[in-house]
Amino acid sequence: MKITLIAKFAAGALALALSGAQAQTIVKFSHVVADATPKGQAALKFKELAEKKLPGKVTVQVFPSSQLFGDAKELEALLLGDVHFIAPSLSKFDRYTKKIQVFDLPFLFDDIDAVDSFQSGPNGKALLESMKARGLLGLAYWHNGMKQLSTSKDVLKRPDDVKGLKFRIQASDVLEAQFRALNSNPQKMAFSEVYQALQTGVVEGQENTWSNIYSQKFFEVQKTIAETNHGIIDYMVVTNVKWWDGLPADVKKGLSEAMAEATAYGNKLANDINEADKKKIAEAGKAKIQKLSKEDVAAWRKAMEPVWKKFEGDIGRDPIDAALKSNK
C-alpha cells in the first residue's frame, strides 16, 4: 500500500517535472494595422485557434497598430527574436528578395482572386521559401485588397492631376518608380506616420486599400479618393527560421494548423471588409469617391507602364507571365 502510494507520488512528480520541462511558449505576433482590418482579424483568429489547439502550451500575444514594432523595425525585430510572427505587406520585403517585387507592378493583377491563384501556384510557393537564407520563412499569404489613390485635391481623374504632388509610399523601389512615372514626388514613410503626414500636408496623397483608408481615417484628411484599383496590398506572414525550427514538434504542428485555418478565414473576409469600409467612407461624406471611366483607367495604366520595363530584369519573366495568366 505504502509502496503504491510512493510510486504514485513519484509518477505525479515526474509528470509535473516533465510538463514543467515543456514550458509554455509565448508567441508574439506584431502588425501595423487595426484589429478590424483583414490582417487584424486573421491575426486574432490565429491566436484563438492556436490557443485552442495547444491548451496550456502556447499563449499568443497579438500587438496591432504598430504598438510593439512599426514598419521600420518589425523585420529586424523578427530576425533578433524579439517577435515571432509578423505579416508585412509584400511591398516591404524588397531588401530580402527582388522577385517579390512582382506584386508591386502596377495593373498586373485584375483582382485579389488572381493574386490568390498566383500565390497558390509554383511561383507564389517558391517565394514563401525564398528568404530562408536571410532567416525569414514565409508561412502564408494573407489578403487585403486593391489599392486606391487619394489626394488632398478636388480633382483626381487622370495622371496629370497628380503631377508634382507629394505621395507617401511604402518602402518599395517599385512604388517609388510608379510615382516618378506619374511625375509626382514619392516619399517612403512608415504606416503609423501617414495620417499625421496627410493632415499636416507633409504629403498630399497616398495609395491604400479601402480598409486601411477607413481604419486609419485617411478619408478625413483627403479630399478625393479615385477608384483606380491600380495595385494590391497583400501580406506574407513570416517567422524566424531558427525559432520555428527549434519549436517542439507538437507546437509546430498546432501552430501550422492554426495558421492554415486563420489564413482561410481571413482571406474569405478580406473582400467584404474592404467593400463595407468603402461604403462607410462614402456615407461619411468627407472625401469624394471618384469613379473612373475605362478611358481614365487606360490613361493611368499607360502612365505607369515604364515601371514594368524597369523591374522586369530583377523580377524575371517567369513570375510576371504566371501572374498575367492568373487573371481570368
Q: Which of 191, 218, 300, 311 touches ligand LMR (CB under 6 A)?
A: 191
Cell numbers for 191, please give them: 504606416
Sequence-distant (6+) residues with CB within 8 A of 310 are 177
Tracing cell 478580406 back to the chain, one arrives at: 270
Min dist. Cβ of residue 274 to ligand LMR (A): 11
Length in residues, the chain: 328
Does the protein bind ligand LMR through residue 119 (CB under 6 A)?
A: no
Min dist. Cβ of residue 270 to ligand LMR (A): 11
Does the protein bind ligand LMR through residue 43 (CB under 6 A)?
A: no
Sequence-distant (6+) residues with CB within 8 A of 136 are 75, 78, 79, 96, 238, 239, 240, 241
Of 208 and 229, nearer to ligand LMR (C-beta) is: 208
Min dist. Cβ of residue 22 to ligand LMR (A): 34
Q: What is the DSSP letter of 102?
A: G
CA distance 320 to 318: 5
Report which of 251, 239, 252, 261 is spatially closest to residue 55, judged by C-alpha positions.
251
Min dist. Cβ of residue 93 to ligand LMR (A): 11
Q: Which of the residues 133 through 152 are near ligand LMR (CB under 6 A)?
A: 144
Does the protein bind ligand LMR through residue 112 (CB under 6 A)?
A: no
Q: Which of 32, 68, 292, 315 touches ligand LMR (CB under 6 A)?
A: 32
Does the protein bind ligand LMR through residue 258 (CB under 6 A)?
A: no
CA distance 238 to 87: 6
Does the protein bind ligand LMR through residue 170 (CB under 6 A)?
A: yes
Q: Which of the residues 233 through 252 are near ligand LMR (CB under 6 A)?
A: 233
Cα–Cα distance list, 6 to 11, 12, 19, 186 (Å):
9, 10, 20, 74
Does the protein bind ligand LMR through residue 232 (CB under 6 A)?
A: no
Note the residues at the interface with ligand LMR (CB under 6 A): 32-33, 89, 144, 170, 191, 208, 212, 233
